[in-house]
Amino acid sequence: MKEEDEAVEWSGSWVSQRLGVELVGDDGLKELLGLALRRNPKRAHLLVSHVLGKHVPQKPSVVYGHGYELGVRVRELLGREDAARAVVLGYAETATGLGHSVADGLALAPYLHSTRRPVDGVGPAGGFEESHSHATSHLLLPEDPKLLAGDGPLVLVDDEFSTGNTVLNTIRDLHARHPRGRYVIVALVDMRSARDLGRLDAFAKEIDARIDLVAHAGGTVRLPDGVLEKGQALVAAHETASTAPAPGGSGRPGGPGGRQAAAASPAATYLSPAAPEAPAGSEGTDGSEGTDGSEGTDGSEGTDGSEGTDGSEGTDGVDGTRGADRVDGADGRGGPGGHGRQGPREPHAPRVVRIDLDWPSGVPDGGRHGFTPAHRVELEAALPAMAHRVAEALDDGRPPETGVPRKRAAGAVAPPQTDGSPRVLVLGFEELMYTPLRLALELERAGAAREVRYSTTTRSPVLAVDDPGYAIRTRLVFPAHDEPADGPGERYAYNVADGGFDAVVAVVDSAADTAALHAPDGLLAQLAAHIPHVLLAVVPSYVPAPEKEPMPPEPLRGPEFSSYAPDEVGWLLQDLSDVELEAPTEEREEAIQSGGAHYAESLPVEYQPSDAYQALFHAALETSAARIARAVGAVTDTVLAEHPQRHRPGIHPREHRPVLVSLARAGTPVGVLMRRWARHRHGLDLPHYSVSIVRGRGIDANALRWLAAHHHPADVVFVDGWTGKGAITRELAAALGEFDGFVPEIAVLADPGGCVRTYGTREDFLIPSACLNSTVSGLVSRTVLRTDLVGPHDFHGAKYYRELAAADVSGHFLDTVEARFDEVADAVDADVKELLSADRAPTWAGWAAVERISEEYGIHDVNLVKPGVGETTRVLLRRVPWKILAKRGAGADLDHVRLLAEQRGVPVEETDDLPYSCVGLIHPRFTRGATGADGKAVAAQ
């Protein structure tokens, strides 16, 4: 090809001619983009940006300028007020530097980029998938969890906007967590197809938000039928050609994926940063003697138009067999990113010199964990000094002229005369794009070299073809050196070999400064094989300091949350009243039993009792109020009597005051009654809180942290309404093993299962607060634990059903029982005396009975067997019941159970040998098509 033809050839023509791929759109689109072939089963082609600084070395001012200009346009679009509230989010790995440059143009916004690198001790604030990528999972790891929690505009930055899937996945994930009214999508190019153009507007309407798009240029890629298969075949053909031995050569492969630049020979003199320098005149290799002709073109896409001919004899770069005798071709022109190309270098000893940048303390190396405007100010102030250190190292390490003339092919244009200052490449590392870009920009502005270019390494596998009409001319292959989470693998540097560079400054973070980086086949050795002077700058990897966990907020209290008076109970919960959490009972049961959901992730629809059932509740309350009051008095006085035994010596008796902590929500009415007894009989004002505990998930750790910060853990007495088989008792004991000072015991009103040692009675009798749901528990729902609603520093959640105030009997229940306190006082004194002298060790008789029933009835799951009046009532109110086992001869205590069973069509089977008054059995093989799912007919299985 003639030199003048190469000067105007588009770097996507090779792919376009062979696959029929067309790039159509705005004027100047082809100046921004070239084409290459992916080694990717999901997409054949790769749009290669000339101005991104990823695959193609480019002037840093061009790379930074494009991003900064986009940021200025976003600032003008939003206006100063909204720009000050915005957050910019860039995509790993390709757009991390672009996004950061956009944030600089926006001027006032903090910046965060997604990452594929998990960081120990930093929990994700979100994540999403990039479906077409070779490595799809993105993590969001902000140091400040509030960074993405605001309601200001979110600016999402990627190098190209094609299908929109990645951006929409991101918005969907973040909008579900923290809804906001405006999003701005920023890209170098908008490459959506006609069918994708309407998706953005439709999605904006779906989430009721405004979504704008800002891009430098727009267009689309037209793909013929079968392009993926044709592209894969073309890649396979060229990989085969590139690994074949060169005619008459040594058979050394060029490596898969087109012409791979020669790697460092094992015999080369490679000086690691810690090694002594080689003696003068030692024999090293820069790859010029390899049979693959390492000193040829790299097809880089810049803007200085200095690319020249390659002097190849009748080849188009496809077979990877160019000879080592190359020309400079310095005056030729290629598209953006061309450069003066050097021939084989004189023998020299490649070396790697480490530069101490004196990185400013506390400034992040990029946006992986967030980068604030304050960080930006600190970095701007430090950049000139850091660039000066690099410039000094470049000047000190310039190899001396040897006087050996360079070989040139006949007719080649002589290289330009220079003052000897180097042509420098600043090479970033995968996601670490912004820091090396700013360093390169500072070198360029300071005139530290005759020319400065910038690009980065990447994990994207791309075919390399040495042709001026192809965007990826050469590639270096080396092993990953940052111990990636997805395991070892190849990494690449494109258009670096044969780039005509006199020096390269490799910039990595300290997490990537590993043995693999310095290995004989590592990145530094590969660079040293092709570039005479290699400098290494290591930036400290910023890892957020272990943050002292924030203290959760103060407890919720009535009347803002619950119908209880504010002094009755403090709820260590978060208010989820505005969240739709209810699901039909049958739907919840199917999801729970199938393993598709945990019972604490949703709420049953609040049962509204019939008039007949309400009447039964009031009758039961009047009948049992004295019995309940007696049990309340007995358990409270037992707690008060034994409480000093929990304590450390030397504490004044007046400080031996229990802190009642009821287990929401069944324990809460009992805790309120115990508090009222202590005040009524003893003049004690006991603190009372309510916390969440979830079977299989444990107790709310943040609630325990709050309690430990405000009270001595030994004072905490956990309170519940009753025991069934003792699952919650065991759950509490296991959960408290991780916390110091708390006593892993529960005080309950009734312990028919023999699961605890502190109780008011072990009889299984009707506790009216078990008959209803929220309307007897302060209008508060059961607790909820779901990761999208409950963050790592949040209390578990619950709802306050204000709308049910007309049906609320919470206060009536408490007042009715308290009215009987004086009446039962003498009986309580006798009960407590007996309890304190008795052997109250748990017998776990209830657990044994449950295991027997589970096997006898073919259920084989103790979680579906709910013993006792209270638990049986819950089964009928919240779950899909199969049958009820009632102790033969049980009387009025089971009237409400029989009524509920009749309403739901559940058989009641009387039986002997039960330690409980009744046992509720949940449908053991429930689906919505199962017998009994309609609540009207349940047949034995």
Q: 571-592 pLDDT, tens per residue? A: 999 999 999 888 766 666 665 6
pLDDT at 604: 77
pLDDT in tens, 487-530: 889 999 999 999 999 999 999 999 999 999 999 999 999 999 99
With a cut of 50, say whether residue 654 has pLDDT above it. Answer: no
| Cβ burial, residue 737 (10 Å; 0-12/13-18/19+) | exposed
33-37 and 22-25 as β-strands: parallel, antiparallel, unpaired?
unpaired
User: Among candidates 131, 140, 138, 80, which has minimal Cα distance to 108?
Assistant: 80
Q: What percent of the chain has pLDDT over 90?
A: 46
pLDDT at 151: 85
pLDDT in tens, 480-489: 999 888 788 9
With a cut of 50, say whether residue 462 has pLDDT above it. Answer: yes
The mean-pLDDT minimum among 97-106, 236-245, 318-327, 781-790 falls in: 318-327
Quick one: how far is CA 414 from the chain centroid? Answer: 55
With a cut of 60, say whether residue 393 has pLDDT above it. Answer: yes
Largest separation between any pair of C-alpha atoms in the chain: 118
For residue 526, the number of C-alpha atoms closer than 13 Å in the C-beta half-sphere is 27
With a cut of 70, say whether residue 400 has pLDDT above it. Answer: no
The mean-pLDDT minimum among 103-117, 280-294, 355-369 falls in: 280-294
- For the chain, the straight-line distance linking the first and the last C-alpha, in angstroms and rounded, comes to 83
The mean-pLDDT minimum among 468-477, 737-746, 815-824 falls in: 737-746
Euclidean distance between CA atoms 298 and 476, whole angstroms = 11
User: Among candidates 450, 821, 768, which has minimal Cα distance to 617?
Assistant: 768
Average pLDDT over residues 309-323: 32
Query: What are the φ and ψ backbone dihedral angles of 905, each rounded to 5 degrees?
Result: 70, 35
**CB contact set of 587 (below 8 Å; sequence gap of 6+):** 928
pLDDT at 863: 82
Residue 938 confidence class, pLDDT cut points 50, 70, 90: very low
pLDDT at 27: 86
Euclidean distance between CA atoms 469 and 6, whole angstroms = 8
Check residues 300 and 5 and name the one with the higher pLDDT.
5
pLDDT at 595: 56
Query: What are the φ and ψ backbone dihedral angles of 150, each rounded to 5 degrees?
Result: -75, 180
pLDDT at 623: 86
pLDDT in tens, 715-735: 999 999 888 777 788 888 888
Count H helices and E strands in the chain, helices first: 22, 33
With a cut of 70, say whether residue 775 has pLDDT above it. Answer: yes
pLDDT at 397: 59
Q: What percent of the chain has pLDDT over 70?
A: 78
pLDDT in tens, 47-88: 999 999 999 999 999 999 999 999 999 999 999 889 999 999
Euclidean distance between CA atoms 432 and 436, whole angstroms = 7
Residue 276, both tokens: 């002594």
Residue 323 confidence class, pLDDT cut points 50, 70, 90: very low
pLDDT at 41: 65
Residue 756 confidence class, pLDDT cut points 50, 70, 90: very high
**Helices 96-106 & 434-446, crossing angle to 10 degrees?**
70
Euclidean distance between CA atoms 171 and 363, whole angstroms = 28
How crowded is residue 682: how many other Cβ atoms within 10 Å of its Cβ?
12
pLDDT at 590: 65
Check residues 743 and 121 and name the one with the higher pLDDT.
743
**CB contact set of 720 (below 8 Å; sequence gap of 6+):** 662, 663, 666, 667, 670, 728, 746, 747, 748
Average pLDDT, the chain: 80
Average pLDDT over residues 616-620: 83
Q: Answer for the pair 40, 461: CB distance below 8 angstroms, yes or no.
A: yes
How crowded is residue 693: how many other Cβ atoms within 10 Å of its Cβ?
23
**Helices 667-682 & 611-642, crossing angle to 10 degrees?**
50
pLDDT in tens, 32-41: 999 999 876 6
Residue 360 confidence class, pLDDT cut points 50, 70, 90: very high
pLDDT in tens, 781-797: 989 988 888 888 899 99
Check residues 732 and 405 and name the one with the higher pLDDT.
732
582-583 and 45-49 as β-strands: parallel, antiparallel, unpaired?
unpaired
Average pLDDT over residues 559-569: 96
pLDDT at 678: 96
pLDDT in tens, 527-547: 999 999 999 999 999 988 766
**CB contact set of 906 (below 8 Å; sequence gap of 6+):** 876, 881, 882, 883, 884, 900, 932, 938
Euclidean distance between CA atoms 689 and 571, whole angstroms = 6
Question: Residue type at 380?
Answer: E
Check residues 146 and 564 and name the one with the higher pLDDT.
564
With a cut of 70, say whether residue 259 has pLDDT above it. Answer: no
Q: Answer for the pair 884, 907: CB distance below 8 angstroms, yes or no.
A: yes
Note if the bond before 559 is cis, omega within 30 degrees. yes
Average pLDDT over residues 549-561: 87
Note if the bond before 606 is cis, omega within 30 degrees. no
For residue 728, the number of C-alpha atoms closer than 13 Å in the C-beta half-sphere is 24
**CB contact set of 933 (below 8 Å; sequence gap of 6+):** 586, 880, 923, 926, 927
pLDDT in tens, 156-201: 999 999 888 888 888 988 887 788 999 999 999 999 888 888 888 9
